[in-house]
């Protein structure tokens, strides 16, 4: 099913494109349900981050729905140690750790 949506070469190209940018610590690409498809991080860390982000997306969508603000497209978290950005596409979730 996923093969028709995005191929492996496209996934690798997305990861490479972000890896080339300064300050990027990790890139995780998930399917729309939050399961990691590919990552440049260790599998355990990718799965853990994806699980937390998927939970955050659910809460974010609840807030957007309650405020009647349309659809959730992007989440950005700034912490004292870095930044996490989450882009929601129709069939993919892109997680960038900076």
- The domain that holds 34 is classified in CATH as 3.30.450.30
pTM comes to 0.86
Give percent of the chain with pLDDT exceeding 90.
73
pLDDT digits (tens, 9 = 90+) for 20-56: 888 999 999 999 999 999 999 999 999 999 999 999 9
Sheet with 92-97: list strands edge to edge: 36-39, 26-31, 92-97, 83-88, 74-78
User: pLDDT band for position 12 (50/70/90)?
Assistant: confident
Give the per-residue pLDDT at 33. Answer: 93
Domain span at residue 28 reads 2-97
- Provide the number of structural domains found in the chain: 1
Contact by Cβ (8 Å): 6, 91 = yes
């Amino acid at each position: 099913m996923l093969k028709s949506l995005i191929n492996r070469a496209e996934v690798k190209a997305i990861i490479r494109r972000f890896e080339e940018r300064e300050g990027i610590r990790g890139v995780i690409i998930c399917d729309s349900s939050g399961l990691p498809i590919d990552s440049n991080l260790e599998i355990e860390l990718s799965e853990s981050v994806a699980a937390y982000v998927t939970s955050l997306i659910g809460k974010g969508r609840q807030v957007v729905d309650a405020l009647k603000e349309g659809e959730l497209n992007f989440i950005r978290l700034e912490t004292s140690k870095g930044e996490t950005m989450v882009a929601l596409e129709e069939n993919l979730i892109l997680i960038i750790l900076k």
